[in-house]
Structure 1
Amino acid sequence: MHGGFLQLLKKRKELIPLIGIVGCAALGATAASIYFLLTKPDVILNKTRNPEPWETLDPSTPQKLITINQQWKPVEELELVKKLTNDLLSSESSY
């Protein structure tokens, strides 16, 4: 198989840049996928360990690649709902 492929490349040298570019693109796509899988909080593999990882994020740190003029202020009503939900869940689990 490889001998035939190398002979084809020797005959048709114009395919070498094309194969190089496609190979680099495939390598870049694979590297980006692995990077996002390991570093981004919205990509999860194991839902049983932490089903909502976005709840533990610090909202003051930017999550995008480029963030321009971002100012984050907590919404009081949302914080109250989160606190009440956590209190309710913790009281239910103690029974």
Structure 2
Amino acid sequence: MIKTMIQQVKKHPGLIPQFVFTTLGITGAILYLIRLSRGPHVTLWNKTKNPEPWNGLDPTYQYKFVAIDTDYKNLKKEGPDF
């Protein structure tokens, strides 16, 4: 596979930035997943050893909630006019 890439780069040198940025993107994604798997919240993933993970969190833990505040009374119409 690497021989094929080298042959393609020799024929088309414009592919060098594509290979560089693709490699950087894949490396960044792998490093992010490694960092995510070693974080302090990993105990929340293990359901066999800790079936109630919310009991281990202290009251100052910052929870991540999604709050969508949509007031349906203020919507002007139900759908688009055709």
Pairwise TM-score range, normalised by the shorter structure: 0.5 to 0.7
TM-score (structure 1 length as normaliser): 0.52
Structure 1: how far apart are the matches of 2:54 and 2:37?
14
> Unpaired runs of 5+ in structure 1?
65-95
TM-score (structure 2 length as normaliser): 0.59
> Unpaired runs of 5+ in structure 2?
65-82
Residue 26 of structure 2 is matched in structure 1 by 26
Structure 2: how far apart are the matches of 1:51 and 1:19?
44
SS state at 1:4 partner:
helix
Shift of the 63–12 alpha-carbon distance from structure 1 to 2, 3 Å rule, reads: farther
Q: Which has the higher contact order (CA 8 A, sep 6+)?
A: 1
RMSD (Å) for aligned C-alpha atoms: 2.3
Give the ranges of 4+ consecutive aligned residues of structure 1 lying more than 3 Å apart after TM superposition. Answer: 61-64
Structure 1: how far apart are the matches of 2:24 and 2:8?
20
- Percent identical: 35
The alignment covers a number of residue pairs equal to: 63
Residue by residue over 1:26-54, the C-alpha shift from the partner in whole angstroms, topping out at 9 and shown as x without a partner, is 1111111111111041652x321123334
